[in-house]
Copies of this chain bind each other. A is one copy, B any other.
């Protein structure tokens, strides 16, 4: 599962298409700021973990799929941090894109990253046209509406909110897309792999809610307690013990759902291990 360098290389190659000498300098700098240095790169790591289980982790199609998924994630963070949403001045311990470059460039950087996610697929999947079509559908569904990140974020503007649908769209969709994309880029049936990512995504969301509720800002690298401050629905409302039990059950569901493939057992272990790392230190390593 040591796909870290491959992911950074794939993202650098994608950005090299857009942040060129012809690009307005502030936009180019903002694009770089939005993507590097990254967070945990959980979603592209999941793309690679699935591809590795399928035996195709060195394919350029997998690299493009991983970069595409992470670019959508970075775009969503840039726009989520805008004053009209979270109004977050910091992200990953640094100024957010709008804080560093202003709102106009932040809006445009997010837009550009969404476009780049699809361009990256188009550019690197010319040898795999069927996989390209499948991947566009997978990434598009996770990014847009009615089931993707845009829809998830838009639920926050509604007077009533279905917590499950909200999390499924805002966070789960891109994790589900990551596992499906890893399979599709490998020439496997994407749909069979979607449940794995959906479970991992829901588990991550619960862990994030727990972290938001209990962490200090230094640990999280971003403002914490925002969910409560913004009156936002959160799994931590369940109470921490129940949230932790739900997280464990989701990871068990995720590992049980892995379709037949060469690296099934190794993938199950990697997912269990990764889930422990989602949590703040005082709650992690329960399964060890």
Contact = CB atoms under 8 A, between A and B. Distances in A.
A275 B44 CA distance: 47
A107 interface: yes
A69 to B, nearest CB: 13
Interface residues of A, number: 60
Interface in A144-188: 144-148, 150-151, 153-158, 165
Nearest to A23: B146
A287 interface: no
Given A26-B154, A132-B129, A144 B112 contact: yes
A225 interface: no
Output the residue of A121, A145, A155 with the most chain B CB within 10 A.
Answer: A145
Contact of A84 (B26, B107, B110, B157): B107
A59 interface: no
A31 B125 contact: no
Interface string A17-44: 0111111111110010000000000000
A105 B140 contact: no
A251 B25 CA distance: 32
Contacts of A23: 145-146, 151, 154
B129 A133 contact: yes
Given A27-B151, A104-B153, A140-B118, A19 B145 contact: yes
